[in-house]
């Protein structure tokens, strides 16, 4: 997961707990890394700093050493035996693996997020006994000693040094673990009439809920059927709630847990890495978000029913009330990801190569936020106009033109399916914006789309 928190220590603590460490295990890791590096990911061992005799004749600071390794100007990183990073990696084999991992991620060798992930990876692959302690123990002392004696292995392994590191670890435990147990209490919506809990989840989210992420299900299902889809572990995906086409609401993953809903990957140097926005991946988004899958059509623009829309607005209002979200904010600005004080609605398409939540919902997120805010009584909750007119579908239209074309998609840049539709009354089941018309309507027959500029609603 990406880094979530206001300080380096909080970010690493959250990452370690999310990876499976107990609060004591995460605190034990932090206490040791604090003593090793002050939690500074660019930290170069003090005896090597400004010591050209040890670094190829060049004087390096933390910053210049990191930059030289990143650009290839300094080739001695692997073999110089200089402690580096939050864990002060020193042995050539471990530093080589750290450098290779950074390159595979496309990050600086001094990147905090990368180093936190590498620490977890190294524990799992090379120090399984330590990993087992960190993921099972409730003792801060035991966790701290395991990291110090079997992972870090400093020259001073005295009982006095063990106690010093354990004391620092306890400080982090008191700051984060006790804070979490006191403030991160979660409830579920009483609006849910179906409860089918998916096994596809991360138990105990590590962040307060301050975001809502709405998805399209791609299928006009009931809440029960939607939840059933996420029951097999082989599915590898889930959501917190499903809203059915009939307005039913189902609980699929409890709000105390992170759903597996908003992830996405891309290839970097032949390796799949999470797509990140401002350093935040979709899976990390879900630590902060309640995710909602809404029953929709199976094709563009993935329209939803009027009943589903009404239920979605009620559910979002309830989520906001219970989690202390005073106002739902939407501007459609991807650059605001990670800043819920300015935008606390996010969408899957930002974190993956997907159209989700579909244009129908996406174009109405401003209107959804305005209606939720009105129910919340949010001050200054002026309606935000959607980018396309919002109408209730389905509805009937009368067509009198004798040469109105039916197109494959919503736009004159799509193929013509039929050169002329016979005059008469037709049912429109979806709307979408597109080239060549103010608004396009999808015919219930499934034959295609027509320009609503030449249709009269009845």
Query: What contacts 270, CB < 8 A, 6 or more positions away?
Result: none
Q: Which CATH architecture has domain 8-183?
A: Orthogonal Bundle (1.10)
194-376 fold: Lysozyme-like (3.40.80)
Strand partners of residue 201? 259
Q: Which residues are registered as beta bridge partners of 269?
A: none
- Whether 100 and 107 have beta carbons less than 8 Å apart is answered as no
Asked if pLDDT for residue 178 goes beyond 80, the answer is: no
Please state the rounded mean pLDDT for residues 28-42.
97
Q: Looking at the chain, which residues constitute the CATH 1.10.530.10 domain(s)?
A: 8-183
The arithmetic mean of pLDDT across residues 137-164, rounded, is 93
Instruction: Determine contact, residues 356/349, Cβ cutoff 8 Å.
Output: yes
Q: How many residues does the chain have?
A: 458
Where do you find CATH 3.40.80.10 in the chain?
194-376
**Span 48-82, pLDDT tens digits:** 999 999 999 999 999 999 999 999 999 999 999 99
Helix/strand/coil for 198: coil
Residue ranges of the chain that CATH labels 2.30.30.40: 395-457
What CATH code is assigned to 395-457? Answer: 2.30.30.40
57-66 exposure pattern, b = at least 16 Cβ within 10 A, e = fewer: eeebebebbb
pLDDT tens figures, 378-430:
765 444 333 344 455 688 999 888 888 899 888 887 888 898 888 999 999 88
Give the tens place of pLDDT for each residue, 236-264: 999 999 999 999 999 999 999 999 999 88
pLDDT (tens digit, 9 = 90+) per residue, 260-269?
A: 999 888 888 8
Full-model pTM: 0.51
Long-range contacts of 437-446 (CB under 8 A, 24+ apart): 437/410, 437/411, 437/412, 439/388, 439/389, 440/407, 440/410, 440/411, 441/397, 442/303, 442/410, 443/406, 444/394
């Amino acid at each position: 997961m990406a880094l979530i928190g206001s300080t380096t220590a909080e970010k690493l603590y959250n990452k370690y707990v999310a990876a499976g460490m107990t609060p004591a295990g995460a605190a034990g890791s932090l206490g040791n890394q604090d003593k090793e590096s002050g939690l500074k990911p660019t930290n170069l061992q003090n005896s090597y700093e400004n010591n050209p005799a040890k670094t190829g004749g060049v004087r390096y600071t933390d910053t210049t050493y990191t930059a030289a390794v990143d650009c290839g100007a300094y080739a001695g990183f692997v073999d110089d035996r200089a402690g580096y990073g939050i864990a002060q990696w020193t042995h050539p084999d471990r530093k080589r693996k750290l450098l290779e991992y950074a390159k595979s991620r496309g990050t600086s060798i001094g990147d905090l997020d990368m180093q936190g992930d590498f620490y977890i990876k190294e524990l799992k692959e090379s120090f399984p006994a330590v990993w087992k302690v960190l993921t099972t123990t409730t003792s801060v002392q035991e966790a701290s000693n395991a990291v110090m004696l079997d992972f870090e292995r400093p020259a001073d392994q005295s009982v006095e040094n063990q106690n010093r590191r354990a004391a620092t670890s306890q400080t982090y435990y008191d700051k984060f673990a006790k804070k979490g147990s006191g403030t991160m209490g979660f409830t579920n919506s009483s609006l849910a009439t179906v409860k089918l809990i998916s096994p596809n989840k991360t138990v105990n989210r590590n962040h307060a809920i301050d975001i809502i992420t709405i998805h399209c299900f791609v299928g006009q299902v009931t809440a029960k059927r939607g939840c059933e889809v996420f029951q097999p572990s082989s599915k590898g995906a889930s959501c917190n709630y499903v809203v059915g086409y009939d307005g039913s609401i189902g609980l699929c993953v409890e709000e105390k847990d992170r759903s597996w809903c908003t992830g996405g990957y891309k290839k970097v140097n032949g390796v799949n890495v999470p797509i990140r926005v401002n350093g935040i991946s979709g899976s990390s988004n879900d630590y902060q978000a309640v995710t909602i899958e809404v029953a929709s059509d199976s094709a563009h623009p993935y329209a939803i029913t009027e009943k589903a829309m009404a239920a979605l607005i009620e559910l979002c209002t309830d989520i906001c009330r219970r989690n202390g979200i005073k106002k739902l904010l939407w501007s459609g600005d991807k650059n605001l990801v990670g800043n819920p004080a300015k935008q606390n609605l996010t969408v899957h398409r930002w974190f993956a190569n997907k159209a989700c939540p579909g244009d129908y919902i996406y174009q109405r997120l401003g209107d959804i936020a305005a209606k939720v805010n009105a129910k919340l009584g949010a001050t200054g909750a002026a309606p935000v106009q959607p980018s396309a007119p919002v109408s209730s579908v389905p509805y009937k239209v009368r067509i009198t033109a004798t040469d109105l074309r039916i197109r494959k998609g919503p736009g004159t840049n799509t193929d013509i399916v039929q050169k002329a539709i016979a005059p008469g009354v037709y049912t429109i089941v979806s709307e979408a914006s597109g080239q060549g018309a103010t608004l396009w309507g999808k015919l219930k027959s499934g034959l295609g789309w027509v320009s609503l500029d030449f249709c009269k609603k009845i």
